[in-house]
Each structure stands twice: as structure tokens, then as C-alpha cells.
Amino acid sequence: MTNASVREFKMPDVGEGLTEAEILKWYVQPGDTVTDGQVVCEVETAKAAVELPIPYDGVVRALHFPEGTTVDVGTSIIAVEVAGGAAPAQEEAPAAPAPAAEPEQSAEQPAARQPVLVGYGVATSSTRRRPRKQAQDPAAQQAASAVQSELNGHGAAPAAPPAPAAPVAPAAPASSAAPAQRPLAKPPVRKLAKDLGVDLATVTPTGPDGVITRDDVHAAVAAAQAPQQAAPAAQPAAPAAPAPSAAPAAYDSVRETRIPVKGVRKATAAAMVGSAFTAPHVTEFVTVDVTRTMKLVEELKQDKEFAGLRVNPLLLIARALLVAIRRNPDINASWDEAAQEIVVKHYVNLGIAAATPRGLIVPNIKDAHAKTLPELAASLGELVSTAREGRTSPSAMQGGTVTITNVGVFGVDTGTPILNPGESAILAVGAIKLQPWVHKGKVKPRQVTTLALSFDHRLVDGELGSKVLADVAAVLEQPKRLITWA
């Protein structure tokens, strides 16, 4: 190792003061060549999913943790062999167990075949297993990578057993065919298998191209439970236990599923509890005829200024809220508990609550108050698409001042939303439905929705909150107020 050294890349703090992150996906494997700036993995913090680039060129020697592992900030997650210089003592140490066991191989073993097993670092207990893991057929590994890249998952890493079980595993890699049979499954299916304790390598796939489906996982669970239910017959106390599981068989063969609370969902839960029990919430409601707003939406869709932009009712609701804030600026504030001050903000970072597979997130549009309607439409479209793809950055979710949550997309009339921490108000928008409405003295079918505004009663009293909600409703009822009140 006179011409190369091993660099350890540590889990960075990708947010502000975060202490841990979960490894969602590895994009490289031991033996792969990486370059400066190349993304090597995707991690999920308490705020968002973030891709991590490697800061140097080299060959991957080890992945210290498997996918699905939560790692503390500052902990080394990947080792890369770089050219030039002698390896530092602390980086040479992890590779030392291999030469101790097989001294004849130390001089000629290539970098891509270092004794490393994903998820086990370079512990002595798994020294003999790791070289065999790396000795898998490169052609077979490359053949599986195309399908697995499309599925956004790696078969071997999530199924890795805990470190204490490593000594019993050496027999498995002895078969040369084992590494080539990496189970293919989509991330939701992998998570289901992990929650149910199912090893995907033991599941028979029925999906296209040998992909394991949710039904395959449930079938494996049912097959595993069948002998367990028959075995207790010889024991005096056990026969009563299998009986209850037969009753709900028509619903599901599994009575309960435990889902670890971590990442975005864990952070959201903590934030909502803190907000609910810190800020005294008040919620007010108003039902409004938005028929004219819906007509304006259809007209804007035909306007060349909005060509290529997504125009929907949420766009005009957002603009209506911004107009209401301009008319009632004290609503756009926060409570400083330490200083015992109300901080009025002269800018609006408009948050939009978005439901994602990882949980609820609230990215915000910076300086939304200064944007034209087409610019606001473009920002909304980008925000929604980025959230759906799971690419929202931590910075996009920081610094919000007020928030809109659109529960109407689920067919819900309205709700009592909880404030986003650090904000003073949140507007819930219900479903827009055709309902009988008194219009110009006659009952006619009109497009109607219900709005709900929750606010922090420490800094927003009933009068201010009512004025803001009434102004939003007035703009949506008569969209021309977007001009007259501007």
C-alpha cells in the first residue's frame, strides 16, 4: 500500500444540526470506481431525502452499513482507496485481519476484492466471509444491476443479518451461484418483507422478470406459519394460540405489522406534538361560493402567459392568501419564547403541505409575496413535482411563515390543521363540490368549498384571524378583488 491510501467518507450533517440519517440506497458496491462529485448513496434525514456525493476519486473498498441503517453524523459509511501516498495508520487498521488469516494473499489481492461485506465494516469475525462475497461473478452482478437500478433497490444489503450472526454465515457464500441470485423487489415490498421478518432470498417470485411482489411475501409468511401452527400440537399450553389467527384469515394472514418510526415521519410526529402543546390553536371556518374562481382557472389555462404551467384552484387560493396577508400583515409572524417577543415578518415564505411516501413534508416557496401569478404557478409546479419524486431539499423546508394544506384532494370537506412549528397560521382547503346555493335570490348549483384557518392565539387574536379568513373567502368569491385589492 505504498502507492494508494484508504479514505473514509463520514456521514455529513446535510441539514442544520441533524444528528443522524438513514441510508436509503447505495449507488455503488465494493470494487466500483468512483470520481469526485459522483453520488454514492441516498440518505433520509429528519427533513428530507438527500443524495451524497463522494469528494475524491478512487475505488470503493467497503460499504460499512447496509441500506435501511440509521447512522450517526460523523460516522464513516464508505471506504475508498485513492491513488498516491501511504495510508494513514487508522485507515490501514481495518484491513489488517485479512493478512493475518491468509498472509500469502495480502500482496496480490486487488483493491476490489478486499475482505469487506456490506453492513459489517472490517470486523475480524467476518474476515473469511467477506472475500467470498466480493468474489461473485462480475457478469452476473452486472446483469442484475440493470433491473435493480430500475427498481431502486439492492437485494443483498437490506437482507444482511445483524453483526452477531456473522460467524454462522460462511457456509452460505461457499456456493458460487448464491451471489448471482439476488432477489429483485421494489422498495415497498422490501420494507414489507423487513417488517414481517421475511428473507427475500427464500421467497419464490411470481412477478415479471423474477420480481418479488407483495403477494409473494405474504405467501411466504403463510407458508412459514403453517408448520408453526401444526407443531404446538405436542405441547400442552400451545394449542390455544393458533386458534385466533384462523379467524381473520379472510382479511390478512398477519394480525399486526410494526413500522419503525424514523426519518421524516419521526420528525413530523415530534414537531406536531410540540406545536399542538405549545401554541394554543384556534380554528375558524367559512363556506364560500368559488364558482367565479373556477371559471377564472379555466380561462387562465388558455392564456399564453401560462403555457406549460400547471394552473389549478390551489394557485388562486395561494394568491388569495397572499392578498389577505398583505391586508393584514400581523398574521405573518412568529412567537419568540426566549425573548418574549412577537416577530412580524415582512416577507412570505408560503408553505405547501405535501404527502409523500416518507411522510408529510412542508416545503415552502421563498418570497412568494413578490412573485407574479405565472411565477407563482411555476414555483408551485416545481414544488409539487420535487416533493413527489422525494427530492425536496432540507433548505426548501426551512423558514416558512404560513402554510396551505389542501385536504380537498382527498374528497374531505375541511379539517382543523395543526400549525407548522414556528408559524402563526395554516389554511386548510376543502373539496370543491357542486352544491345548491342561494345566488341572486335563487337556489342554483354552485361550486362551493369550506376553508379552515388555524392560528396561534398567543399572537393572533380572533379579530385578526377572522379578517384574514374573510379576506381569503372574499377574493375566491369575487376574483376581481385580486386587482382591486392589489
Check which CATH number belongs to the domain holding 370 and give it: 3.30.559.10
pLDDT at 348: 97
Of 19-33, 229-243, 452-466, which range is least confident? Answer: 229-243
Q: Are residues 128 and 21 in the same domain?
A: yes
Residue 9 β-bridge partners? 78
Q: Are residues 336 and 189 in the same domain?
A: no
Q: Are residues 278 and 222 in the same domain?
A: no
Residues marked active site are found at 457
pLDDT at 235: 42
pLDDT at 260: 79
Number of domains in the chain: 3
> Mind listing the pLDDT tens digit for each residue in 425-442?
999 999 999 999 999 999
Q: Are residues 353 and 204 in the same domain?
A: no
User: Domain containing 164: what range?
Assistant: 4-180
Q: Are residues 246 and 139 in the same domain?
A: no
In this structure, the chain runs to a length of 486
Sorted by sequence, the CB contacts under 8 Å of residue 425 that are 6+ apart come out as 331, 332, 402, 403, 419, 453, 454, 455, 456, 460, 465, 468
Q: Cα–Cα distance between 394 and 15 in angstroms, integer?
A: 6
The pTM is what?
0.55
Check which CATH number belongs to the domain holding 174 and give it: 2.40.50.100
CA gyration radius for the chain? 28
Pick the more confident residue, 430 or 11. 430
Domain boundary among 164, 180, 196: 180
Pick the more confident residue, 130 or 282. 282
Q: Are residues 299 and 326 in the same domain?
A: yes
Q: Cα–Cα distance between 452 and 285 in angstroms, integer?
A: 4
Residue 443 β-bridge partners? 438
> Mind listing the pLDDT tens digit for each residue in 325-369?
999 999 999 999 889 899 999 999 999 998 877 778 899 999 999
Q: Are residues 166 and 53 in the same domain?
A: yes
pLDDT at 213: 86
Q: Are residues 142 and 201 in the same domain?
A: no
- The helix/strand count (H/E) of the chain reads as 13, 21
Q: Are residues 87 and 137 in the same domain?
A: yes
pLDDT at 16: 58
Sign of CA dihedral 205, 211, 214, 215: negative
Q: Of 67, 74, 78, 153, which is closest to residue 121 (Cα–Cα)?
A: 78
pLDDT at 477: 97
pLDDT at 387: 85
Q: Are residues 300 and 246 in the same domain?
A: no
For the chain, the average pLDDT equals 77
Check which CATH number belongs to the domain holding 237 and give it: 4.10.320.10
pLDDT at 184: 81
- In the predicted structure, residue 113 carries a pLDDT above the cut 50: no
In angstroms, the Cα distances linking 144 to 24, 73, 481 are 19, 32, 59
pLDDT at 117: 35
- In the predicted structure, residue 17 carries a pLDDT above the cut 70: no
How many other CB atoms are there within 10 angstroms of residue 295's CB atom?
A: 12
> Mind listing the pLDDT tens digit for each residue in 278-304?
788 999 999 999 999 999 999 999 999
Q: Of 262, 261, 264, which is closest to residue 393 (Cα–Cα)?
A: 264
Q: Cα–Cα distance between 185 and 152 in angstroms, integer?
A: 9
Domain boundary among 227, 260, 293: 260
- In the predicted structure, residue 152 carries a pLDDT above the cut 50: no
Of 17-31, 73-87, 156-170, which range is least confident? Answer: 156-170
Q: Cα–Cα distance between 217 and 355 in angstroms, integer?
A: 26
pLDDT at 449: 97
pLDDT at 465: 96
Q: Are residues 309 and 450 in the same domain?
A: yes
Q: Are residues 240 and 331 in the same domain?
A: no
Provide the pLDDT confidence category of residue 108 given band limits of 50, 70 and 90.
Answer: very low
> Mind listing the pLDDT tens digit for each residue in 40-78?
998 887 667 788 899 889 999 999 999 888 888 889 999
> Mind listing the pLDDT tens digit for each residue in 217-257?
878 877 776 554 444 444 444 444 444 444 444 556 777 88
Domain boundary among 180, 202, 233: 180
